[in-house]
Amino acid sequence: MPLSHEKSSRQHSSQELIHWPATTGRWGLAPGQPDDLVFVTRTGRVVEPRNVNTMLDRVVRHAKIDRSRVHDLRHTCATLLLLDGATIRDVMDQLGHASVTTTGNIYGHVLDEAKQKMAERMNRLAEGD
């Protein structure tokens, strides 16, 4: 099962992946499927999709933070990218959205916050701080 399934008419895409700690599993290649990135266990077996949340729950519990879902991580990733200056098109591509409009509708509030931060930066620069 490919890791990245897009919500558009495009087939599949591969994304750069962040390595999780060894206690949660690791990223790897499915045996016999060198192009399909998936979660794998320490022993190299494919992790069933329903178990990804179980792994995340374990990490969250260990970190003593509020429960999160994989989808929350996706949303956080997009939000942080936008706040760090990524373009809406960059985030659209990363998330696999079919259009900039979809991404803009979901993350418009973040863009507003990013614009406010940019204005504050410009004010600081203009004031010489």
Q: Give pLDDT, residue 36.
A: 58
Kindly tell me if the per-residue pLDDT of 17 is higher than 70: no
Distance (Å, whole) CA 62 – CA 55: 11
Distance (Å, whole) CA 64 – CA 91: 29
Pair 25, 39: CB distance under 8 Å: yes
- The residues spanned by each domain of the chain are 1-67, 69-129
Token reading at 39? 């979660």
Q: Give pLDDT, residue 124.
A: 92
Average pLDDT in the chain: 75
Q: What is the pLDDT of residues 56-114, one digit of tens each?
A: 888 889 989 888 888 888 899 999 999 888 999 999 999 999 999 999 999 988 888 88
Q: Give pLDDT, residue 31.
A: 53
